[in-house]
Structure 1
Amino acid sequence: MSDTAKKIGFIGIGLMGHGMAKNILQGGYPLTVMGHRNRAPVDDLVGRGASEAATPADVARASDIVFLCVTGSVQVEAIVRGADGLKAGAHEGLIIVDCSTSQPTSTQALAAELGELGVRFVDAPLSRTPKEAEAGTLDTMIGADKATLAEILPVVGCWAGNIIHVGDVGAGHTMKLINNFVALGYGALYSEALALGQKAGIAPEKFHEVIGAGRLTNGFYETFMKYVVGGDRDAHKFSIANAHKDMRYLADLASATGGINLISSMVRNYYAGAEAAGRGGDYVPMLSDYVRELNGIGRDD
């Protein structure tokens, strides 16, 4: 079987998944996607040649490799173990690739459970934004054995520009949580620094002139500040609710390993507070609004 004769399934064609699935189609692979309440991405992909399935079990039956791109472990476990889940439609040789940000302990448990059926489970979480998903230049960090990695690499290469094999199953999700801790820690740090500066009379624009021109800038900072000083609400489309979820997963990882996590606990509480205040649907740069309000100041103060 040539590589492009492999049949690919995709579940979770949202902000990131649509671009990934589109690029798999453009790579020449037969693609089956699962229907979604948001019909626009489904209809677009079907219009490009994809087939549509009603359940995860149907996707599994139609596929050699299935990609998942959903919120986290709760959703992944339901997709795998549900009455019409991937497990119900699984066949020997199937590979399931979880591109969600999930808990490593859940990932390893699913890998062991599915392994009894001759199904391999791989973690390949993502980094970067929907813009890179559409362009096919996402970053991914993979947890898999070398043989399975070799099988999935040509398909992963359709949507990723930077592919790093971190280690065995679970290592990708572990690294992703650490990656997101660093990024979300930046978000909390920038928000607090901006608020403190504003209380002391330093406008966000002046803050940006100094920090943005020096060694402390980075890609995350640039998209964060596109909202703060540019008002671009879509510059960094990652929700505060997802950020809080990832920080909870990191806390679980620290507990499982016996790690000390003083800073991450403080970062988590910023996102927890923002979600509790009804801002869960806002994007991460908007945490700066919440922290400013905690300090009793408005955007124009």
Structure 2
Amino acid sequence: MYFQAKDYSPVPAETKVAFIGLGTMGFPMAAHLLHAGCQVTVYNRTASKAQAWVEKFGGKAVATPREAAQDADVVFTCVGNDNDLRSVLLGENGAFAGMKKDAVLWDATTDSAEVAKEMAAEAESRGLHFVDAPVSGGQDGAVSGSLTVMCGGDAEIIERVKPIADAFACSIRRIGPVGSGQLAKMCNQICIAGVVQGLAEAIAFGQTAGINMHTVLDVIGKGAASSWQMHRRGDTMIEGKFDFGFAVDWMRKDLGICLEQARKTGADLPLTALVDQFYGEVQNMGGGRFDTSSLILRLNREPKKS
């Protein structure tokens, strides 16, 4: 499912937005903005994906980020990494070159706090605003419009955009100045890495012991062991299904950002570093595009049905 409509709060009349990056997350996020009443122009480096979005939802696709950003009140970006963000924002065809004064660049990419500060400084020099606003909730949250958004930037600007971004979110919170949203997302990914590894070990342990893990998760999921990952990924982990959701390749990118930030600040992330290595093993097994719950493949190369 690409998109699931919800009850939308009204957006200001004639709100024009651009959405740059129509991947697993961006494709439904942009659709929510359109269904909430925004005028949406999209850009994607693979033009066929932008055209497919227009054919499915409406709106307009253009050939460059600069064209997408022209006349937009808010430009949303959701791309792969730091360099991807620079490539769509900077240069003569970048979004910054097309944005009108006082417009807002709202970056939903998971990238580094450093690039957020770098792009914020560039935006300010052009009379623009920048908010780093990574999201959590996975593909399911993007489809249902129930993402959690962690923001870094000026409080007044975040409040200005919030009624628009509410179209794809259930919670939008300012963490602090620019870069703080990305730091909060790093905390999020660190937590997820540990939870998924623990869940994988529990399932593999139970399977080895010969107990019905569907039943076990149903029971312990009502107690202290409960988690988002258990409720949404536990059964599919048991069944060995991983062809959906947030890819291992992207999780390794995110954990790399966490580990690099930790080196700069002196934080100790022993479990995160270990799980990052485990995800490397999954990549070597050909699972780079599997959902992150595929960590269990290391423990049980042929997951048992239970």
Same fold (TM over 0.5): yes
Q: Which residue of 1 aligns with 2:115?
A: 106
Deviation at 1:46, TM superposition (A): 5.0
> Cα deviation per residue 1:32-61 (whole Å; 9 max; x = unaligned)?
111453746643435544111111111122
Residue 279 of structure 2 corresponds to residue 279 of structure 1: no
Q: TM-score, normalised by structure 2?
A: 0.87
> Partners in 2 of 1:112 and 1:36 — Cα distance?
25
Contact 2:214 2:235 in 1 (8 A): no
Residue 24 of structure 2 corresponds to residue 15 of structure 1: yes
> Partners in 2 of 1:197 and 1:160 — Cα distance?
36
> Cα deviation per residue 1:125-174 (whole Å; 9 max; x = unaligned)?
11113333233222111112112112211111111111111111111111
Deviation at 1:197, TM superposition (A): 4.1
Q: Which residue of 2 aligns with 1:89?
A: 98
Q: Which amino acid aligns with 2:102?
A: G
> Partners in 2 of 1:83 and 1:276 — Cα distance?
39
> Partners in 2 of 1:279 and 1:54 — Cα distance?
33
- Of all paired residues, the percent bearing the same amino acid is 27
Aligned-partner SS, 2:110 = coil
Unaligned residue ranges in structure 2 (runs of 5+): 1-10
2:72 to 63, 84, 87: 63
Q: Which residue of 1 aligns with 2:89?
A: 80
1:244 to 244, 252, 258: 252
Deviation at 1:184, TM superposition (A): 1.9
Q: TM-score, normalised by structure 1?
A: 0.89
Contact 1:9 1:62 in 2 (8 A): no
Q: Which residue of 1 aligns with 2:300?
A: 292
Q: How many residues align structurally? A: 295
> Partners in 2 of 1:261 and 1:41 — Cα distance?
39
Contact 2:120 2:131 in 1 (8 A): yes
Unaligned residue ranges in structure 1 (runs of 5+): none
Q: Which residue of 1 aligns with 2:139?
A: 130
Q: Which amino acid aligns with 1:281?
A: R
